[in-house]
Structures are given as C-alpha cells and as structure tokens.
Structure 1
Amino acid sequence: MTDYRPETEQQLIRHAQSIAGLTLGELAAQTGVVVPENLNREKGWIGLLLEKVLGASAGSLPMPDFPDLGIELKTLPINREGKPLETTFVCVAPLKGITGMTWEKCHLKNKLAKVLWVPVISERDIPIHQRIVCTPFLWQPNQQEEQLLAQDWQELTDMIALGRVEEINAKYGQVLQLRPKAANSSAKTQAFDAQGRPFQTLPRGFYLKIPFTQMLLNNHLRVN
C-alpha cells in the first residue's frame, strides 16, 4: 500500500472509501508508520498518514496533492455527532505582490477546485490510534459556493492590498477566514502598511470556517 498511486479519479474514490471505518492505528500498521502519543508537535500527522495511504504525491509543492488528477486532499476532524472540530487550513495567503491578482488565477481557487474530504472522528478523549476514518467524499464548489469563496477572497485580498492586514480578524469573511499561520511567533514575513511602508508581521493563512465545512458534510453525508 505504501507505493500505491491512483491513476483515475474513480480509483482514488474507491480506495478512499475502502478505508472508511478503519482506525488510524490500523492504517498506520498497514503503512509501517509509528503513531505519536499526541499531536502537539505533529499537528499534520493525520494528514500525512492519509496522504501516504491514499497515494498523494505533491508533498509540500504548491499544487494539488494528487497532481495528475487535480485533486486536493483535506482531512476534516469531526466529533461523534459529525460536527467539524476546527477551521480548515487551505493555503498561505500572499501579503505582497498581489496587485492585479484575480480570483480566477489565485492559488486558493486552484487548491479548492476539487477536494477529497476525509472526515476523521478526532475528539480529544479518543487516543490517536483509535480515531476512526469516516466515509470520504469528493467535492467541487458549485456556483453558489464558489461565489461565496470568491467574495471573501476579494474582500480579504483588498484589505491586504490596502495595507490593512493587521485589522483583519475572524469577523471578516462569510466562509473564509484569514488568520496567522506560523509555527511560532518569531516567524515573520513582510507586508505593507496603508502608506506603502514595509513591516514585519506573522504569515497569514486562508481557512474555511466551520459552518461552511459543516454544510459540505451535511450535503454529502446527510449528517443531521
């Protein structure tokens, strides 16, 4: 299984759905991966395990996780009632060089063009090796979903371009959120203030808000 590479979208979906009901411990054993005691220092461990199991090959390159299929892989931690436990990171937000950038050509749109969602029951009281993979589903934004994403992206990008990145908080955006994305507070990147002067700030990332991923779950899995 460690060298598995899906050749078609149908193959990927079939393989993804075949792991539904398995625990992370069972998947780790199949792939020879050691399960960490906690995720404090390995926040991305579940995603990396599923990349390995499902044959994602992009690694950290700026392209979809399954480059030949144009499909991104996203794990979605949920509770036992099927409610997402946190917002979903999509990609790093550029804080400079964004003049003239359009939704049609932005990295965020490319990342969300087609997503294989893998919900995992991940409540904190469940040991990592006992957390269960639920039924994965493939999602492409419909017209209404894309419109919401594009509007939020435009609003947040305009604020960055106007030098107002420090003003942005969780209230902005209906379905998207822009917030700091850094391993620690000493990681800094350059941005520009309203007068066009450069300054150092924390890197920012685009995240999908919980009500949006809840809606996707409801639509695709009929979770009530």
Structure 2
Amino acid sequence: MVIMYSSPVSLVELQLRSNALAGLTLGQIAAQLQLPVPANLQKDKGWVGQLLEQVLGASAGSKAEPDFPHLGVELKTLPIDRHGKPLESTYVCVAPLTGVAGQQWHESWVCRKLQHVLWVPILAERQIPLAERVVGSAFLWQPNSEQQRALQMDWEELMEKISLGGIADIRGAQGKLLQLRPKAANSKALTNAIGAHGEPIRTLPRGFYLKAGFTASLLQQQFG
C-alpha cells in the first residue's frame, strides 16, 4: 500500500518537510512510500520529481497549475554534481506553437510556474545508482526584479520568433536564462506550428528550459 501524504498547509510546513528529506537517498524515500525504484530513468524520466511530489504532498498532478496550488509553489528537482554544479538544464513547461499572437508574459505558463519555486538539489552524477542518489537542502525561490525582467525578455524574443514562423531557426543558445528545445519522446511525435511563410507545418514539440548557468547562479545565491 502506497502512503499518501496530505498537502502542506503553509510555506513553513513545506520547508520543514523538505528539510526532513535532506541527506536521504531516493531509495530511502521510495521505501518510505513503499514504491519500487526503477533501474534507471530512461523509461521513467519524471520519476524523481513524482517521488518528491508524493512525499511532500503536492496535489496538482497533471493539472495546469503549480504543484502546490494552494501555496502557488512549483516543485523543481535540480540534479547536481559533487561540486554543486547543475548537470543539465531544467524543464519548465511545453511551449505553445500556434495561436500565440498577443500572448502576454504575465499570463504565460512559464511566468506562472516560475513565480515561486521549491528547488530540490539532488546529487545525481551518472555513476551513482538511482536508489543511492542523495537529496540536498531544498530552498524556496522567487525571481527578483532583474531575473523577472531577463526571463520576460527571453520569453518575448522566443515567442516572437514562433509567431513569425521562425521555429526552425531557434537554437538552444538563444536566450540568456531561458531556452527553447525540442521535447518529444521520439521523432514521430509531431505537433502543429507556423511555417516561415505563415503556412501550417508539423514539427517536434518544444519545451521551455532554464539554462544550467542560471540555476547554478541560484545555487550560488542560496549557498554562496
């Protein structure tokens, strides 16, 4: 029987629950929840996030709202190496590729997801078996005005390219903090988009990701 945890009623309770996980391995947390640990993440990419959502009492599931809706907090795991450096960019959400004209930053899913984030660093170097990866000290973060401005600028630039049919020209190097990258289980999973001459085309779904350099700066800001 899988143990279900109730939703935390306050930010203080969420932080306390997160603190209690620091130093535990993913295997120990999974055992607490009576869940099996997959051999690797190839077929179970979202497993770590789902495990932590469950133990911390996140209630959004797959709904289009933050993981802790009543607190307005999104949960993001952050795989790091032993030097505390992020190992990859962080997925935020799927990018809309049609009907994007007139969309505003403050109404965007990216903006809403990043308004308040619980970051959970995880020591996750490749050679460490999944069950032995260790949870670090989680922290709550809200973008300051400078970070908010930079995220908005990146988003507006990328969305403008999408709406003008420039999807094929967008590279991961674009954007200071935010990048747009293909997000699909395989190359057959195509979606609708706008072509260079305004015509409907089929292309790989794209996702917004936070660059590793940016999340490294958040860790630096938090832990010095």
TM-score tier after normalising by the smaller chain length: over 0.9
Structure 2 equivalent of residue 138 of structure 1: 140
> Alpha-carbon deviation of 1:210?
0.6
Secondary structure of residue in 2 paired with 1:200: strand
| CA–CA separation in structure 2 for the residues paired with 1:48 and 1:195 | 41
Which digits, 9 at most, give the CA deviation of each residue in 1:154-202, with x for residues without a partner? 0000000100001000121011110101111110110011321001000
Q: TM-score, normalised by structure 1?
A: 0.97
Q: How many residues are treated as equivalent by the alignment? A: 222
Which position in structure 1 is the counterpart of 2:216? 214
| Counterpart residue type for residue 66 of structure 2 | P
Once the two structures are superposed, residues 58-106 of structure 1 have per-residue CA deviations (whole angstroms, 9 ceiling, x without a partner) of 1111110001100000000000110000000000000011111111111
Seq. identity, %: 53
Alignment of 1:50-65 (within 5 A): 50-65=52-67
8 Å contact 2:11–2:71 — kept in the other structure?
Answer: yes
Counterparts of residues 174-213 of structure 1 (less than 5 Å) = 174-213=176-215
Tell me if the contact between 2:5 and 2:56 (Cα under 8 Å) persists in the aligned partners.
no
- Offset of 1:2 from its aligned partner? 2.4
Which residues of structure 1 form unaligned runs of 5+?
Answer: none
Give the letter aligned to residue 218 of structure 1. Answer: Q
Q: Deviations over 1:92-136 (max 9, x none)?
A: 000011111111111110000000000000001101111000000
The runs of at least 4 aligned residues of structure 1 exceeding 6 Å deviation read none
Identify the residue that residue 82 of structure 1 maps to in structure 2. Answer: 84
Residue in structure 1 matched with residue 115 of structure 2 by the alignment: 113
Are the equivalent residues in 1 in contact too, given 2:118–2:141 (CA < 8 A)? yes
Do residues 10 (structure 1) and 43 (structure 2) align?
no
1:45 counterpart (32, 35, 47): 47
Q: Distance in 2 between matches of 1:87 and 1:58?
A: 23
Name 2:71's counterpart in structure 1.
69
TM-score by length of 2: 0.97
Q: Distance in 2 between matches of 1:78 and 1:155?
A: 29
What do you get for the CA RMSD once the two structures are aligned? 0.8
Residue type matched to 1:24 in 2? L
Cα deviation, residue 48, structure 1: 0.6
